[in-house]
Amino acid sequence: MKELVKKQLTEVEKELWEICNKLYENPELGDQEFESMKLLVHLLEKHEFKVELGIVDRPTAFKAEYRSEKPGPKIAYLAEYDALPGVGHGCGHNLIGTMSAGAGIALRNIVDEIGGSVVVLGTPAEETNGAKVPMCEQGIFDDIDVAMILHPSDQSYVSGDSLAMDAIQFAYTGKASHAAASPEKGINALDSVIQLFNGINALREHLPSDVRIHGVISEGGKAANVVPDFAVGQFYIRAKQRSYLDEVVMRVKNIAEGASLMTGASLEMTNYELSYDDMITNNTLSDAFTKNLEQTSKLPVYPAKNSYGSIDMGNVSQVVPAIHPYIGLNKPGLIAHTKEFANQTITKDGYEALLAGALALAYTGYDILSDHYLFQAIQAEFQNK
């Protein structure tokens, strides 16, 4: 039966590669991926997927589903297609989107034979304001049994973990005054942000090594001879687990309030991007995928690497069994979020990764649909965690 999966993918590999290159040539930022979305949706509709556009109030999000007449698990492949400003597809989302669409199409005919259904979810803005977060909150995954995504990297790695993350803005409002003639009449909002940075730097000494706090002063005044009456600090705060991250965030907020008391400026705290939860890899599902990737790719698969980034797939893993492995572009040491990474996605190595990755995803979907014991083991692990 897996030969039929491979045959189906072979029939669309040229179209997948063309779409991958078009996404590379015309990169679109998060929530602006209109043309990228259309390319993927058009291909899925051509293969009889029923498509719903604009889900969770995100205009470039979509849900494409092919449902058989027979009962069985529902497999979801998640497609990303947002690019980075000034870099393009330096995170390889042109490959992610096409691998997921290809896997869905390759599995499409199989579900008619053995039952179940396959879903391809278009998930915009992973780099900034990930659509997977509202998808989790609004029930998109409620009837999905397994979720998979495959990310390009320098080499192939087993699915691992990621850090939970909150993006918090601290906006201080003070009082403007002439900085030389009447400084005593001013309230310096920038001093509040500086004290916030100093307090956070002191806090670092008493935090575990997995915690990451990094920020910028996005607004800090206009002229040196005017007391700044408005200043803003924006921070990413990350930790290995959501529960501990919440503790760290509370301590940072206390520091921010202390800075407000020190200077007399008022404080407004807001989340300027959506929060990401930590990734919980389903190891049973991961093992099944790794076996398939070792069959479809000529590159070795290494153990999960330590991750200090944050992904909205973490939120998905909290509500459904999920994996987020990496497929190699055959260039050890290649750094993501660079133009060199983007260029590597459209080489021969990128082409081979596209086919091997889509096939491994589709094979894993077939294994779940056809092996009741594997499916039950995946679900049991998820419930235990």
Per domain, the residue ranges of the chain are 2-162+278-384, 164-271
pLDDT value at 96 more than 90: yes
SS3 51: strand
pLDDT digits (tens, 9 = 90+) for 34-80: 999 999 999 999 999 999 999 999 999 999 999 998 999 999 999 99
Could you tell me the sign of the dihedral formed by the alpha carbons of 83, 88, 92, 96, in that order?
Answer: positive
Q: Has this prediction a pTM greater than 0.85?
A: yes
The CATH number of the domain covering residues in 2-162+278-384: 3.40.630.10
DSSP class of residue 256?
H
Tokens of 89: 């597809």
**How far out from the chain centre does Cα 374 lie?**
26
CATH of 164-271, one of 3.40.50.720, 3.40.50.10420, 3.30.70.360, 3.90.1010.10: 3.30.70.360
- The structure tokens listed for 245 are 């991250």
Q: What is the 3-state secondary structure (H, E, C) of 312-340?
A: CHHHHHCCCCEECCEEECCCCCCCCCCHH
- For 70-110, strand residue ranges (E) read 74-79
Tell me the pLDDT tens digit for each residue of 243-296.
999 999 999 999 999 999 999 999 999 999 999 999 999 999 999 999 999 999
d(CA 211, CA 241): 10
What does each C-alpha distance from 167 to 133, 210, 234, 238 come to in angstroms? 14, 17, 7, 9
Query: What is the per-residue pLDDT for 305?
Result: 86
